[in-house]
Amino acid sequence: MKIVLFSADEAETASAVSALDPAFTVTSVARPIDAGIVDAYADADIVSGFAGCDFGAAILSRLPKLRFIAIRATGFDSVDLDYCRAHGIRVSNVPVYGDSTVAEHAFGLLLALSRATVPCAEATRRGDFAYTPARGFELRGKVFGVVGTGHIGRRAIEMAHGFGMAVIAYDARPSPALQNTPNVRYAPLDELLAQADIVSLHVPATPETDDMIGARQFALMKRGAVLINTARGQVVDNAALVRALESGHLAAAGLDVLPDETLLRHPATLFAADTPATPAMLRDILAARVLAGMPNVIVTPHNAYNTVEAFRRITATTAANIRAFVDGHPINLVS
């Protein structure tokens, strides 16, 4: 059984998978799987990668022995599930690993924006202890709008209550438990956007959530509102976000995710012969660069998941998923 772990620069995962069975041959590859390296692993029976790995049909078709994909994340939008179903490839994910981790990062971004933490720290590093940024704002008494009330969204709601914030929520499928909670009110998305001081996104990447927050939605938001996105980059039209920030309609944004993150990490890919750059790709990349340079924006490199505790959960669940598949009773399947 040959197992290849892509985007795997953490020895912990390889050790956990190798320990499952001495007969397994486990290979760790620091790079995400892509067209440039896939043929070197054509004999893989099982592959594993983060959500940013490309498991599209063009890649999967070059893995003729593949039987199982173990996604080391909750999101699996990078996998062509139709191809997998047609070719008998099973797919698992890690359903829950970072609810506290990601929600804490969302509030870390919000707190840093609310008190100008980044420019203050940069000023003192320059030796400027007299630096006075624009005045910040308290979270207490503000309206926290949560878009998506799954595990992470619900944890964010708990934290918002701890800060003394009022909570308004939107979800296409509201949580029955939250619907009966007196200090959480569900509302249509447009109403949430119009009332919230802070809008925090916690929805998965699906066709329904692509560009869920665009020019029309930004226009509905309060002047001076803050957007936090720790969900997926494609949920937000970032060109529209740039306009909303530059006009002053939005006060700030905290972003841990952006569209086309693989291209942002490996921009030379844009010039590869087999990756023709489309106008949409170039627009997204340019918007990301502009946002990263704006003084009222904090961008982190898809790092919300990155804690010791979350990685332990990811590693344990991934190893369990592979073991269960090999034993003939797969778990945590998405296809």
List active site positions.
Answer: 232, 261, 302
AA identity, residue 159: M
Among residues 29, 33, 32, 24, the alpha carbon closest in space to that of 3 is found at: 24
* b/e code 70-91 from CB counts within 10 Å (16+ = b): bbbbbbbbbbbeebbeeeebbb
> Cβ distance 43 to 65 under 8 Å?
yes
Torsion of CA 303, 234, 59, 31, to 10 degrees: -20
CA 151 from chain centre, in angstroms, equals 14
C-beta atoms surrounding 252 within 10 Å: 22
Which residues of the chain form beta strands (DSSP E)? 2-6, 25-29, 46-49, 68-71, 90-92, 143-147, 166-170, 184-186, 198-201, 225-229, 250-255, 297-299
Distances (CA, A) of 277 to 32, 34, 75, 94: 19, 16, 25, 32
C-beta atoms surrounding 119 within 10 Å: 14
Helices 99-114 and 308-326 sit at what angle, rounded to 10 degrees?
150
The backbone torsions φ and ψ at residue 255, rounded to the nearest 5 degrees and listed phi first, read -125, 125
DSSP state of 48: E
In angstroms, rounded to a whole number, what is the distance separating the alpha carbons of residues 9 and 40? 18
> Cβ distance 65 to 88 under 8 Å?
no
